[in-house]
Amino acid sequence: MTKIYHNPRCSKSRQGLEILENSGKPFEIVKYLDDNLSAKALTEIVTLLGIKPIELVRKNEAIWKSDFKGKDLTDTEVIEAMANNPKLIERPIVINGKKAVIGRPPSLILDIL
């Protein structure tokens, strides 16, 4: 089943959710700000996306700028930073089986449906 990691306050995430709703296919919504993702779950997501953990970080967030910017972090440290500060996670993330995409722009979601 398709899964969207969703932040209702984010316009891109809402647009991604709308794409899934319009697809008519079943999907699951994960509000990752309410139910924090574990480091293990984030590692699995990064692997499915085929990216480095740093590519999943929202670098304009205040917490990134104040606590992490300019530091030489390992992939594990970046994952831990996102697990402990879920606002740092880029959104929306949509996973469909073994395919995953960051929905920026949201139209990218169509590629994996």
Q: Which residues are catalytic?
A: 10
Q: Return the structure tokens found at 94.
A: 């949509």
DSSP character string of the chain: -EEEE--TT-HHHHHHHHHHHHHTS-EEEE-TTTSPPPHHHHHHHHHHHTS-GGGGB-TTSHHHHHHTTT----HHHHHHHHHH-GGGB-S-EEEETTEEEE-SSGGGGGGG-
